[in-house]
Amino acid sequence: MKMNLIRNELFLNRRSFFISGSVILLFSAMFAGMADMYLSNELMIDMLKTMPQGLLDAFGMDAELMTTFEGWMAGEPYMFTVLLLGAFSGIWAATSISKEKDQQTGEFLFTLPYSRTSIFLHKVLTQFIQITMISLVNLLIVFIFGFLFSSIESPGTVLVLMLGAYFISLAFAGVGYAITSILSSERAAISLGVGIVLVSFLLNMLSSLNEKLNWMADFSLFSMFDTKQIVLESSLTMPGILITLGIYFAGIVIGNIIFVRRDITM
């Protein structure tokens, strides 16, 4: 393992890492800390019961689940975690090579005595460390705020929920790795990294609004795990795990093949 490459990548990503980490942790602290305000709010639950199920699904809300901390976390907080962590993961992955080309630092980095595969995989490894660290701290924050301001009956369910969000974020990173070597513009990479997550979110949302649009969910990573099922069974479905991790690893392999074979033009 080349610590030099990992250290360099951590240094280069330090600002976006702290910004993204802070944003996600702030949201999680807010959602976990305010859980009881919703859970004990009869008016809110009554109002949710009057709303069409499709609309509630679209925004990750379920009146039946809104009675426990775990059920609350499976709604909007889960959706926001996937949205934010997925977007940051997608951006990091999509810009990993394209940024070097855009800022013209590639001619320096890619002519050091490291193979292109080594450079690519160390970027992947560094970003894996970043995504994992944010996910772990996020989980810790949810537990702390959950225990302090609400009551967590099943910590395992919360863990599985956050694990689901983590797997989906890795899948978004995989999509980013697959395209990063094709792109030469950092802006285009950022737009695509975020865009893919937003399109996926919209597909999932639209699929809930009408039965005829249900097929859209098949193309959305947001529908990989059924949060209702997670809350009820405290486990992730195997197909969801295999598909998300499959996309992650396939993206790394495809991205590396493209990176190794393509001319580096700046």
Which residues make up the interface to another protein (CB under 8 A)? 4, 8, 11-12, 103-105, 107-108, 110-116, 118, 260-261, 263-265
Question: What minimum distance in Å lies between the beta carbon of 15 and another protein?
Answer: 8
Query: Residue 14 or 49: which CB sits closer to another protein?
Result: 14
Q: Which residues of 236-251 are buried (b: 16+ CB within 10 A; e: fewer)?
A: beeebeebbeebbeeb
Query: Residue 19 or 242: which CB sits closer to another protein?
Result: 19
Query: Residue 83 or 99: which CB sits closer to another protein?
Result: 99
Report CA-CA distances (Å) from 63 to 43, 126, 149, 173: 11, 40, 21, 32
Question: What minimum distance in Å lies between the beta carbon of 187 and another protein?
Answer: 16
Query: Residue 8 or 191: which CB sits closer to another protein?
Result: 8
Question: What minimum distance in Å lies between the beta carbon of 112 and another protein?
Answer: 4
Query: Residue 11 or 59: which CB sits closer to another protein?
Result: 11
Answer yes or no: are the C-beta atoms of 45 and 63 closer than 8 Å. Answer: yes
Report CA-CA distances (Å) from 196 to 30, 161, 236, 248: 26, 22, 23, 14
Question: What minimum distance in Å lies between the beta carbon of 101 and another protein?
Answer: 11
Question: What minimum distance in Å lies between the beta carbon of 138 and another protein?
Answer: 26
Query: Residue 107 or 233: which CB sits closer to another protein?
Result: 107
In 10 A of CB 266, how many CB atoms?
12
Task: Mark out the alpha helices in the chain (DSSP H runs).
Answer: 3-33, 35-39, 42-50, 53-58, 69-73, 76-102, 106-109, 116-149, 155-180, 186-209, 227-233, 238-261
Question: What minimum distance in Å lies between the beta carbon of 8 and another protein?
Answer: 6
Please give the DSSP secondary-structure letter assigned to residue 92. Answer: H
